[in-house]
Structure 1
Amino acid sequence: MSTRLYFDIEEHQWPLVYDDKYNVSFCGFERFHIFDAKKWRNIVQWSAKVAMIAEVPIVACVPNILVQHAYLKPMRLQTGGSVLAGKLALERGWAINIGGGFHHCSGDKGGGFCPYADITLLIKYLVMYRSVQNAMIVDLDAHQGNGYQRDFLGVPEVYIMDMYNRHIYPKDEEAKRAIRRKIELGNKVEDLEYMLKLRKNLKAALNEFKPDILVYNAGTDILDSDPLGHMRISDIGIIKRDEFVFEICKSNQIPVVMLTSGGYIRRTARIIADSIINLKAKGLIGNEPVSKSCGD
């Protein structure tokens, strides 16, 4: 079996996955949505269904060929980037897709701006092509990750830890049954409470379950000024959050793949960039290959 989603990179190259085509430019219609559709640069479905998923009703009136080119193609490219980043994480110990993290999409249904189930595909490809047996998803986006949760409901080889604002979308009770470590937060949570709960629960999760890879859904919609997350985490709080996740993965020799997921204001692009710079400064990412390997 083979897949064109995987390719090798040179030793001097970092496993940072990005393409300028990730960015959505949709005849100006992207301005009707709260999401910064070009954050990543600074699905064959009918237009009506895409309009529902993307939550931009005017898209339903647009010819499907334009929807495919302007919206779904960038989303497919990001999905492929997530799958590739998973493979690279096993080889290098870490990888970051500057995109992806479509955690509201399951294998049979999109929603919440998410048209493709990239987290599910990432893990399933690693099981198929890289002999991964156990995977952990740590979802720190402000919203519950109900898409992949529905896909992995009743799958003991996938451990899900989800820390989210319980008062906001999607409130999917059926999907919550898949969560092994559930941390439900309230509105206006600040840095100290957030980091204490993250540290306690991620350490406990890794004591309960030993993954071959950790998929880190690193949404920045927990930011204090984000209009959808309704939390109060500072810029430095997000940077320290990412630092802790990479630090604990490195100390346990667990490959980690980071997806940037939600974040609905322009400031988040700068925070993500600053976080990656901080990870390098702290020696948590670099060119060193991982000493633990799962498959060829």
Structure 2
Amino acid sequence: EKYLKSLKCSCIVAGIIEVPPVACLPNCLVDRYALKAFRYHTGGTILAAKLALERTWAINLGGGFHHCSKDRGGGFCVYADITLALEFLFLQDVIHRAMIVDLDAHQGNGHERDFTGDSRVYIFDMFNYQIYPGDFKAKTGISRSVRLRIGATDGEYLRELEKNLTAALGEFPPDLMLYNAGTDCLANDPLGRLDISPEGIMKRDELVFSLARMNQVPIVMVTSGGYQRSNARLIADSILNLHTKKLITAPPSSFSS
């Protein structure tokens, strides 16, 4: 509650989204033209998580604000949509175990801070450890960590993902997988600083959905970071690929139907 109240200060919001001129705007305008959109994204993640349980998969074309925790924002992330979605489902008593698979190029320190020590949540985070945020306290919340160096390429990336996500699902069979599918790992991204090809990212998404299907785990995907003009087209192409491979055409009610 204290954090949400702090968003009534335009200076606070400007710091979180890293747009200094926002600090000079009346908060009513900041709320209408910036925060309202973040709230729609957050609601989309919560709804998608609920729908994934009903239909085996769902995708929110947004969300993935993984640097925001319950009590602080940062890294362009204002609301903790990942935490809120899982807490909503726990509160509804429709899941008891959840796995966060965070493949954005950056460490997901927001949800890691929120779920540190929570045995209901398993966090798999594969990230470039040489860039923001370098949150050592949050790293204690990671159940399985894969640390990548600047310039990591498709071969290493996909090999480590398949090996470690397969092992993670063996260690912790979840009721839901929340997949943070950031595309800032794409080659030439100014912030992610990895060297993954568009084909590599499409293969990544295909691999995650395939493993979820193989283990009969409902999956909800959020699109998170990505800072190039080509990201939107890549996300669309990857979703089309999932459809072509019949990974998002599961029966409407359950895996067993």
Query: Structure 2 residue aligned with 1:180, among 129, 143, 154?
Result: 143
> In structure 1, what is the Cα distance between the partners aligned to 2:183 and 2:254?
30
- d(CA) in 2 for partners of 1:122, 1:108: 16
Question: Structure 2: any 5+ residue segments left out of the alignment?
Answer: none
Q: Higher helix share goes to which structure? A: 2
> What's the counterpart of residue 157 of structure 2?
194
- Cα contact 2:182–2:223 (8 A) shared by 1: yes
Q: Secondary structure at the match of 2:66?
A: coil
Secondary structure in structure 2 of the residue aligned to 1:214: strand
Q: How many residues are matched?
A: 251
User: SS of the counterpart of 2:123?
Assistant: strand
**Alpha-carbon contact 1:191-1:233 (below 8 Å) kept:** yes
Task: State the secondary structure of the residue aligned to 2:141.
Answer: coil
Query: Quick check: 1:125 aligned with 2:95?
Result: no
Picking from 56, 65, 84, the partner of 1:93 is: 56
Residue of structure 2 in register with 1:218 after alignment: 181
SS of residue paired to 2:31? helix
Report how far residue 225 of structure 1 moved. 1.3
Offset, 1:287: 5.6
Does the residue aligned with 1:274 lie in a helix, a strand or coil? helix
Aligned residue identity for 2:163:
K
Residue 290 of structure 1: how far off its partner (Å): 4.6
Determine what percentage of the aligned residue pairs are the same residue. Answer: 58
Q: Deviations over 1:2-46 (max 9, x none)?
A: xxxxxxxxxxxxxxxxxxxxxxxxxxxxxxxxxxxxxxxxx5611
Q: Deviations over 1:115-166 (max 9, x none)?
A: 0000000000111125200000000000000001000011011000000000
Q: Distance in 1 between matches of 2:35 and 2:149?
A: 33
1:228 matched to which residue of 2?
A: 191
Residues 12-27 of structure 1 correspond to what in structure 2 (within 5 A)? none
Decide whether the 8 Å contact of 1:89 with 1:255 is kept in 2: yes
Distance 1:203 1:284 in 2: 17
Whether 2:28 is the aligned partner of 1:69: answer no
**TM-score w.r.t. structure 2 length?**
0.96
Does 1:266 find its partner at 2:229? yes
**Cross-structure match for 1:35:** none
Q: 3-state DSSP class of the match of 2:122?
A: strand
Q: Which residue of 2 aligns with 1:134?
A: 97
C-alpha distance in 1, partners of 2:145/2:137?
13
* Cα displacement string for residues 33-92 of structure 1 (whole angstroms, at most 9, x for unaligned residues): xxxxxxxxxx56111000000001111001101100110000000000000000000001
Q: Measure, in 1, the Cα distance between the counterparts of 2:57 and 2:92.
A: 18
SS at match of 2:105: coil
Question: Which consecutive residues of structure 1, in runs of 5 or more, have no partner in the other structure?
Answer: 1-42
- The 3-state SS of whatever aligns with 1:177 is helix
Structure 1 distance, partners of 2:47, 2:107, is: 24
Partner residue, 1:245: 208
Paired residues of 2:56 and 2:250 also in contact (CA < 8 A): no
Tell me the distance in 1 between the aligned counterparts of 2:166 and 2:138: 23
Large movers: runs of 4+ above 3 Å:
none
Residue aligning to 1:164:
127
Normalised to the residue count of structure 1, the TM-score between the two structures is 0.83
CA distance in 2, matches of 1:165, 1:267: 21
Partner of 1:286: 249
